[in-house]
Amino acid sequence: MSAPWLIRALVMLVVISALAVSYSVHEARRLTDESQKLQQQQTRLESQWSQLLLEHSTWGSYARVERLAREKLGMKLPKTDERVLIRP
């Protein structure tokens, strides 16, 4: 009598194990796909960060400030005789 019970228990364990393995494989594939998407996003963000750093490095450049002052504020460089040198 105990043999049919043992067989049923073993069959149930095999089925449960197969389901667990199947779920694990599915979950591993999902996580791999998600990891690849995150790596692509990281690459894209690193590229954007590099572009921002490059743009930021030009914000204080003399040529940029002069161009903005001329175009946005209507300013112009003074003539040589209009310049005054102040010494400390």
> What mean pLDDT is predicted for residues 64-69?
86
Residues 38, 12: Cα–Cα separation, whole Å:
38
pTM: 0.54
Q: Does residue 64 surpass a pLDDT of 90?
A: no
> What mean pLDDT is predicted for residues 9-25?
96
Q: Does residue 26 surpass a pLDDT of 80?
A: yes
Q: Does residue 1 surpass a pLDDT of 70?
A: no
Mean pLDDT estimate for the chain? 90
Provide DSSP, 20-36: HHHHHHHHHHHHHHHHH
